[in-house]
Chains A and B, each alone.
Chain A
Amino acid sequence: MKKLFAVGFISSFVLSGCFNELKDLDKIKSPELDPLLEFPVVDSHVIFSDFDDQIPDFTVGTRSDGTTTLYFEKELYKVLATDYYSFLPQASQTVTLTGFTTTATGSASGSVSSIMQIGTTNNESLETVELNAGTLEVSVFSDFVNTDVTITIRISSLTINAVALEQTFTVAVGQNNFNIDLAGAILNLSNGPSGFNQLPFDVDVSLSANGTPVTAVNKADVKLSILNPVFKMLYGTAGQQTFENRTGVQSINVLGNTTATEFSIEEPKVEVEIINSFGVPFNVSVNSFGVKDQQGNTTLLTGAAMTSLQPYSIGAPIPPNQFGESVTSTITIDHTNSNLKDVFSKIPVEINYDASAEYPGGPGKIFVLDASQATVTARAEIPLYGRLNNLYFEKQLNFAGDFFANITQGELIITTRNRFPMNIGIVMEFFDSGGNSLEQLFISDPLITESPVTDVGGRTSTELVKETIVVLDPNRLTNLSNSAQLKMYITFTTEQGGAVPVRFTDQDYLDLHIGIKGRAKI
Chain B
Amino acid sequence: MRTILFYIVFLSAFAAKAQFSIATYQSKERLPESNWLNPAFMPDNKLVIGLPGLSSVAFDAGMGFSFNDIFVRDMNDSLVIDKENFPLGLKKRMDNSLDLDIQLLMVGIRMGQGYISFGSRLRSESRVNYTSELIKWALLGPGDNRVSNTIDLNDFQAFSATYLEYSATYARQITDKLTVGVRVKHLNGLAGGEGSQDGSLHISADSVTLILNNSEYNMSGFNAIGNYSPSEFLSGPNNGYGIDVGIDFELSESMSFSGSLTDIGFINWKTDIQSYRSENINYKFKGVDVVQLMFDPNSANPSNELDSLVTLIKPQEQTITSFRTGLNGKATAGVHYDLNLLGSIGGTVYSGLNGGKLDPVIGVNYQLKLKSILTVLAGITYKDKSIENVMAGLIVKPGPVQVYVLTDRLNSYFVPANANSLNLRFGMNIAIGKAGVNIE
A residues at B contact (CB < 8 Å): 13-14, 17-18, 20-21, 24, 27-29, 31, 33-46, 50, 54, 395, 397-398, 413, 488, 512-520, 522
Contact = CB atoms under 8 A, between A and B. Distances in A.
Given A28-B71, A28-B79, A29-B78, A517 B205 contact: yes
Given A37-B143, A38-B141, A44-B289, 7 more contacts: A17-B416, A21-B417, A29-B79, A35-B139, A50-B292, A397-B297, A488-B290
B143 A36 contact: yes
Interface in B90-116: none
Nearest to A256: B294
B77 A27 contact: yes
B296 to A, nearest CB: 9
Nearest to A54: B295
10 contacts: A18-B416, A31-B81, A35-B143, A37-B143, A43-B287, A43-B288, A50-B291, A397-B294, A517-B205, A518-B143
Contacts of B297: 397-398
Contacts, number: 115
Contact of B206 (A18, A27, A513): A513
Interface string B126-147: 0000000000011111111000
B204 A515 contact: yes
A452 to B, nearest CB: 19
A39 B208 contact: yes
A522 B436 CA distance: 68
Interface of B: 67, 71, 73-74, 77-81, 83, 137-144, 149, 203-208, 285-295, 297, 413-417
B204 A36 contact: no
A122 B211 CA distance: 75
A515 B285 CA distance: 12
Contacts of B81: 31, 33
A28 B417 CA distance: 13
A514 B287 contact: yes
A14 B141 contact: no
Contacts of B288: 41-43
B141 A35 contact: yes
B382 to A, nearest CB: 23
A247 B202 CA distance: 58
Contacts of A519: 141
Interface centre among A31, A39, A513, A516 (most CB of B within 10 A): A39
A41 B208 CA distance: 10
Contacts of B286: 40, 43, 513
B294 A395 contact: yes
Given A43-B286, A519-B141, A24 B294 contact: no
A24 B79 contact: yes
Contacts of B285: 40
Contacts of A512: 290-291
Nearest to B74: A29
Given A18-B416, A35-B137, A413-B205, A42 B287 contact: yes
A99 to B, nearest CB: 85
B416 A21 contact: yes
Nearest to A490: B294
A29 B70 CA distance: 12
Given A54-B295, A515-B206, A36 B78 contact: no
A40 B208 contact: yes
A33 B139 contact: yes
Nearest to B413: A14
A212 B322 CA distance: 107
A477 B321 CA distance: 54
In the A-B complex, the 9 residue pairs with the closest CB atoms: A515-B205, A35-B141, A43-B287, A36-B141, A36-B143, A43-B286, A40-B287, A38-B143, A38-B205
Contacts of A43: 207, 286-289
Contacts of B417: 20-21, 24
A386 to B, nearest CB: 21
B414 A17 contact: yes
A17 B140 contact: no
Contacts of B204: 38, 40, 515
Given A35-B138, A36-B144, A46 B291 contact: yes
A39 to B, nearest CB: 7
Contacts of B80: 28-29, 31
Contacts of A514: 287
A54 B293 CA distance: 12
Contact of B287 (A54, A395, A513): A513
B144 A35 contact: yes
Contact of A488 (B149, B208, B289, B294): B294
B22 to A, nearest CB: 21
B66 to A, nearest CB: 10
Contacts of A27: 73, 77-79
A520 B138 CA distance: 10
A373 B204 CA distance: 62
A20 B314 CA distance: 44
Contacts of A517: 143, 205
Contacts of B71: 24, 28
B424 to A, nearest CB: 12
Contacts of A42: 287-290
A397 B300 CA distance: 12
B290 A44 contact: yes
Nearest to B417: A21
Given A35-B137, A36-B144, A37-B143, A397 B293 contact: yes
A21 to B, nearest CB: 5
Nearest to A34: B141
Contacts of A37: 141-143, 203
